[in-house]
A and B are shown apart, each in its own frame.
Chain A
């Protein structure tokens, strides 16, 4: 019986994030529109867009190989699995023992690898530009992310998220410099990885400035729907991750009753809403940076992560 409940809860979480992801994207878009004194689309618009794309036929470039057709499924699968591993409303779920931060980084890296290949595959100049820029960003964002992981694992003694969350909930954590540095590093990486302003602009129509959008320019129909959904999932993943590590309050523990789960879901939704609001606010108040400034921006994240890890070698109490 316990097994079935566990299974249901785990399955429920996987479905929940899949359903919530477009809503989060819609939430950020609506907020951004309202900050610009516009009315903005309905919160449900991303669902309608996905439905529309799923119904449309796929137009393939003549030069597209099998890789171009397979890549959207691979990307979507990798990101969905990665997002499902992050504890959202409850920790200690059935598969949470696999929720290793390094595994999540690896899954995201795989998805990016295939997206960059797909961008190159059709042989258009924009796909090539996008892929080359994406790899430049990734080559700095991934080490920064790993340094952040090392800081956490030095503190919590594990790279597994449930353990990390439990450690952070413990009373004796307190305010630590290394954690603040790790949080900053993670925020910068999250902005870069999700192609948000100031690194990339998800709403741009200027083909020469695109990074993520340039890679997926040739996609259409259900392929594009999967890629869009994967992008929404990735945003949800990062906000969940920040919530799970740095604000794990309200999260239900393994085997807790139904009321605890309800509180967990409510707290999780609150965290997503707040995360989306802060993102919209930040994006509205800043201009996009020059492409060659991105390395300095991400270099800061890398240095912060490194500093956080080094501080812990100096003293475990920092």
Chain B
């Protein structure tokens, strides 16, 4: 392997973009693009996102010591050198760029469409937006051939009330030989709707990319807007945002712990966890006026302040939670039949987790200690005491325990926030500079790190916005997690990942 240049040295020869904050965005040439891809492939830095717009692709990378960078490659011919050829995690992102913008990755290993199933009235909705001329050819699933192998198509419509996604199993009896996912059934054209939207509309749209992490998305969008406009928001708003984010994490982790156990037919855990989750949602509604806290975070601050009664409601919630949660952990730990199902099931190799840069539960249960609250970090987490729980077992049991640890951390964080909440106003006017600006933000949602990049027009509307869900780097690992498992254990593995379909399909 060649010695790789440091990221900064590599990007020095590019053209930095002036109005891009807080990380540098650098316009590069194909000569820089290539070693950049190689650095991703040999693990020198991690892929954070890859997206396109007319005539340009953007690549977000992170290096532990040097920080965050965005490299932009102009594509005058409508093509760009494939990153996915060297670095597999980029493959689905490239296929998406080809579907949405029409920029073609050269020498890509997989040229099949990804989100576009040939059912849209337009092709390349973010690019030329032309009507499709010919029907697209049927989708080819990757072959797995051999005697006694058979295929099991599952979905996109499932027997339970969950989001749609297609899973193609090739199995030998009960043993899974290959799993291939096909997603894109809930593509809503959000990026297209965002173009030209006012900030108010855009905040609502981004808050609905994936309903269960609406706080994290709204926070990422708001932070990106504030970065682009160089707006400082009041301290109290920062703290209230963190409070909402932790409430969301608490509710979702609690629901997930119950749902994983329910997939092993242990409905008792689900029943108790659902009660706890409901208590969080009701407290959220009482404090901020919305059960899921939708539209509570807006660019410039938060929409509603926390009243004194609200703080009491949350204190009661904390006390109640601290009383009810430990017995549930004990129940999980002491039910041997449940442990039998979760231990060693759905193991993901830590090497793959590092390669894909998976964040959130999937990453931290497999030894990748990345948490956007720490790196890049954002207020008020620099002033709060919390740990980032880490495990190395990387199986369903590990992911359940990691959620349990994170619930405890969130409880402690909410306690600290309530205790030290600064006073003052909660919203500041945006500092619209009458010129284009670009901003980016990385925020830790309950699934992992959410990236939002945007460019604002001079009139304050959104020129281009790209929200990237953490599931992009988790879904591919599910295909690997099911290896050496049996078909009947797939629901358990899938639930322990709990990837977002909506956030991924956009």
Interface residues of A (CB under 8 A from B): 32, 35-38, 125-126, 128-129, 132, 197-198, 201, 203-209, 284-293
Contact = CB atoms under 8 A, between A and B. Distances in A.
Contact of B160 (A129, A197, A198, A206): A206
Contacts of B5: none
Contact of A205 (B160, B173, B335): B160
B174 A292 contact: yes
A208 B151 contact: no
A291 B174 contact: yes
A293 B344 CA distance: 15
Contact of B152 (A125, A197, A198): A125
Nearest to A205: B160
Interface string B149-161: 0111110001111
A292 B487 contact: no
B159 A207 contact: yes
Interface stretch (B32-40, B267-275, B382-390): B267-275
Interface stretch (B182-190, B257-265, B421-429, B432-440): B257-265
B266 interface: yes
Contacts of A209: 263, 265, 488, 491
Contacts of B393: none
Contact of A204 (B174, B265, B270, B490): B265
Contacts of A126: 152
B158 A207 contact: yes
Given A36-B267, A37-B271, A292-B486, A287 B154 contact: no
B112 interface: no
Contacts of A287: 261, 264-266, 335, 337-338, 340-341
Given A205-B159, A206-B491, A207-B159, A286 B153 contact: no
Contacts of B490: 208
A288 B272 CA distance: 18
B275 A37 contact: yes
Contacts of B272: 37
Interface in B232-279: 261, 263-268, 270-272, 275
A288 B341 contact: yes
Given A288-B341, A290-B486, A291-B174, A207 B264 contact: no
B486 A291 contact: yes
Contact of B337 (A36, A286, A291): A286
B337 A289 contact: yes
Contact of A284 (B160, B261, B264, B268): B268
B324 to A, nearest CB: 12
A129 B140 CA distance: 24
Contacts of B158: 205, 207
Top 10 nearest A-B pairs (CB, nearest first) are A205-B160, A288-B265, A36-B271, A287-B266, A287-B338, A201-B265, A287-B337, A206-B491, A287-B264, A125-B152
A129 B268 contact: no
Contacts of A197: 265
Contacts of B489: 290
Contacts of B261: 287
Contact of A125 (B151, B174, B271, B338): B151
A248 to B, nearest CB: 32
A204 B491 CA distance: 11
A148 B261 CA distance: 34
B158 to A, nearest CB: 7
Contacts of B337: 198, 286-289
Contacts of A286: 266, 335, 337
Nearest to A213: B159
A287 B487 CA distance: 18
A61 to B, nearest CB: 15
B341 A208 contact: no
Given A36-B267, A36-B271, A205-B159, A290 B341 contact: yes
Contact of A36 (B150, B153, B263, B268): B268
Nearest to A199: B265
A293 B340 contact: yes
Contacts of B338: 287
